[in-house]
Each structure stands twice: as C-alpha cells, then as structure tokens.
Structure 1
C-alpha cells in the first residue's frame, strides 16, 4: 500500500503549491479536489490539466484519486452534500450527473484511475429510503456509462447520515448496479463512525475496494482527526489490507486542518509510516 494526501486540506494553497508541499513530506500520491479552489472541471481546461500532470510527475508522484464529492462551486462553501444523486428536483440531480461525467473526463486527461463520489446524499424526512435508492440507481446510470467508456472507476463512498452509510447498505446497493466500473471508496473513518469494524470489512468488501480514505475518529463522532489523535486501530486495518494484497493508495483526508495542513500532513505521515513498517 502507498500513502497519499488529499488537497482538500490545502484550500488556502494553490493546487500546484499543495502538491509541492505534500511531495516534500514524502507522500507518493495526491488526491485532487475536483472543486473550487483547485480543479473544478469547467474552470480547468486542457492547459491546466497538462500543467498539473507535469507538476505531479516532476515530484515523482501519482494521482491516488479524484475527489468529486463536494460541489461548492455550485452551492457555496457551507453545503457539503448538495446537489446530490437523490434530489427531488430533476435539474439538481442532473447537475450532479454532469459534474461526475466532467470529473470522469478530467480523470482520463490526467491519467487518474478512479474518482470518488457521495453515496446518495442526505435523506429528506418525508421520503422513503428504498425509493431513494432506486432514484440513485437510475441517476447513476449515465455517469457509470461515461466511466465505463473512459475506463475510469467510479467509487461510491458510504458516509454517516447519508443514504448509504454502512456496509450492508452498500452491498445491497452495489448488487443492483449494472456496471463493473462502479466500486467502493473504503473510508475507514466513516465505517468506524457507524459502529462497524473496518479491519473486518476489508475482508468482507474486498471484491469492491479500489481506494481507501482515512482519518482518525474519537467517540465514533464524524470529525476527521489526525491519525494517532483518535481511537481507530489502524494497525489492524493495515494488517488486513496487507493480508488481502492491497497495493493501491491510502489517502489521508484531513480537510478540518485548513489552517495548518502541512503540519497535519507531516504528523499523519510519520504516524502511519510507523504502523506500515511494523506490519511488514
């Protein structure tokens, strides 16, 4: 496994400066935020894509993932989840679809293998989750077809409080997806927050895993902490990943640390490297 860091902690830095700082620490991969202020596709043309590829390769790095979860460019910085895949309004759903297709095309330009997206969005109090799951499945089709055409994996990321938040819901959903290009972004902290054992889930979900996210958690409250400051047993999770032969990226996602992203990335790297070395 290889460590990467997400640029969503570096929103106060330019994208190129973010990559330089992440590389200096020692990370071999970088996850690109496909939103403002970094790589929102409508504002990120071919010239910027080629420049980004050059910067990444010049620092001996790879793209671990494109993060297509948020759409602050559309709704503003205070709204994490909208527009989602399950909006009641058809136009809002199509905004999510088009954004995802745009991110698939950007992934192709950049040579990225996968991108992650939200697991349906928040559930309105007056709507049935089973019906919303069908809406999600239908809305996902054009994006999954675009992913298949470009050879890019589209990764669903279960999250606490959203339509798909645990492993059982994900497994039920994925069985109804008619595409080999829709897989799982396994967020260790999210599964821990919903009272699941991430180490055990590595084995249960092995057929779907394409990429990992991580942050630490305390008291199972969804607040991303620097690894080592919470209570997740990363040693057992990494041991399970090693056991299944996972050789991809594990991306550290610490967006709450935007005032001190370099220090957060450094502390996380040191802590996680010591764990990885101990299991090899």
Structure 2
C-alpha cells in the first residue's frame, strides 16, 4: 500500500494548535489538514509567531501538512457564510479576501493547495446562473493570486451548495480558465449525492489534488461518520485512488466528533490499519 493519510484539524476545535498537531501525529498519521479558522491560525489576522508555532510543532512531531482547509469560516459567521455568492457585494468580498489571504498563508507554510467551499448556498432571491457567474468571477480573481504563489485553489463539491455533483464540478471547470482551480474530492459528499466515489476517481483525476474521506450513513444523509460505521465502500474507493497513481494525501475529515477528537482520529487510523491501508 502506498497511500498517505492525514486527519483534519477541524475535529480539534477544543484543542490548541500544538495540541491538535501532537494528537494527530500520535495517532500515526503522515499528515494533518490545517484549519485556517479560529481558534487556529486565521490568515487575515495571523502573526509571524503563529506561523512559527505551526512550523515548529510540525517539525517536532515529524508530520506534514496534508491540506490547508479554507472552507470553514466561523471567525466571521459559520461554515458557509460569508460565501462566494452572497447577494451583498461587501459581505461576499469578505470571503474572497479571506481566501486570498489563505493562498498567502499556504504559500508561507509550504503547502501547494487550499480547499474552499463550492460557491455557497444559492440565495433564494437569485438564480442558479447568477450564482455560477458570481462564483466564477470570484475564482478568476483567486486564480491570479494562486498562479503567482504556486498554490492550487481546490473547489470541494458539497450537498446543498452551488456545486454538489461531479457533473456540476465539470461544468464549472468549463467556465474557469486556470489550471490552478482544481478539485478537493470529498468521497462522502459525492456518495451523499447518489454517486459512486470509486467510479469518479478516474473521471475527476485530471483535476483532483487532494481527497477527503469519511463514512456516510446508509440513507446517504450528509453526516460525517467514523470509518466503518457507515455504508460507503471505503476499500473500493481507496483501491481506485491507489490504482490511479495518486501520490498525495487522503485526509480523514470527521469534524462532528469534537468531543472525542483524539479518540476518533485514533479509531479511524486503527480502521485503516486493520484493512491494510496504513
């Protein structure tokens, strides 16, 4: 087996930055997904001391950055707001500016990709086409910074947001003229939409720079579930990823488990080891 696994810091909001990095390293992961949001390093306000703290902790624990998560934005409102498709231009601007800062932060930390929300919830008073055009405008601005910094901006399809399915993602790619706008392939999200993640690995491989993994209940509700406790064919998905020749990280994302973050991270790693993946 050749895959490398990370675990997302977004389950560790009750921890310090250093504590989260130590816990993920102790559980045996190769990498950690940094969360660019409070209470951790928040790019619009981050200090040089905070960057040094992250780099020192990573080096001390011999763990790499699997991804930089610039999706969740509770420092301003919540996971999805402000979005790239807010009707209020000034509010929308806050999401764009935050993401520009996140590109800089990833470059500073030596990570070559960030993951972002797929536009956001389509406003009730706006059409889907308006939302697509508005999102593309935002991506075009991000692409200029991304190209100059050598950082990919990975759109992550998610249920109930503008880009939910693989077809919608591919339509978006037809509208964007930059190789730095790519895909954060979240297996659980696509499974929620009735798709087969394993079958989509090849389809989305030209755009995929990073994978998220979680299990999902049998009813395909959008509930991130501990590996092995849901209905996904995790082995089939990971086999497809390995067969594709992918050489990046698969990051386990189990943010609902904040009360048991360390135990949940360890449980997911135990599952991957028992199945022969790690």
How far apart, in 2, do the equivalents of 1:276 and 1:88 lie?
48
For 1:218-233, list aligned pairs within 5 A. 218=217, 219-233=219-233
Q: SS of 2:256's equivalent?
A: helix
Aligned residues between the structures: 275
Tell me what 2:39 maps to: 37
**SS at structure 2 position matched to 1:222:** coil
How many Å separate the matches in 2 of 1:2 and 1:274? 15
Q: What residue number does 2:189 align with?
A: 190
Where does 1:1-280 land on structure 2 (aligned, <5 Å)? Answer: 1-75=3-77, 79-218=78-217, 219-277=219-277
Please list every run of 5 or more consecutive structure 1 residues that lacks an aligned counterpart in the other structure. none
Partner secondary structure for residue 239 of structure 1: helix
SS in 2 for 1:123: coil
Shift of 1:113: 1.4
2 CA distance for matches of 1:130 and 1:247?
A: 36
CA shift for structure 1 position 42: 2.7
Query: Does 58-67 or 42-51 show the bigger shift?
Result: 42-51
Q: CA deviation at 1:242?
A: 1.0
Aligned to 1:225, the other structure's residue is in SS state coil
Query: Structure 1: how far apart are the matches of 2:44 and 2:118?
Result: 23
RMSD over aligned Cα atoms: 1.1
Alpha-carbon separation, structure 1, partners of 2:72 and 2:269: 25
* Separation of aligned partners in 2, 1:124 and 1:179: 26
Is contact 1:238–1:276 with CA below 8 Å preserved after alignment?
A: no
CA contact (8 A) 1:50 1:110 kept: no
Alpha-carbon contact 2:32-2:63 (below 8 Å) kept: yes
> Which blocks of at least 5 consecutive residues in structure 2 are unaligned?
none
Q: Distance in 2 between matches of 1:51 and 1:126?
A: 44
CA distance in 2, matches of 1:132, 1:59: 43
TM-score of the superposition, structure 1-length normalised?
Answer: 0.96
**Contact (CA 8 Å) 2:86, 2:123: kept in 1 or not?**
no
CA deviation digits over 1:160-181, x for unaligned, max 9?
A: 0000000000001011111110
By how many angstroms is 1:276 displaced?
4.3
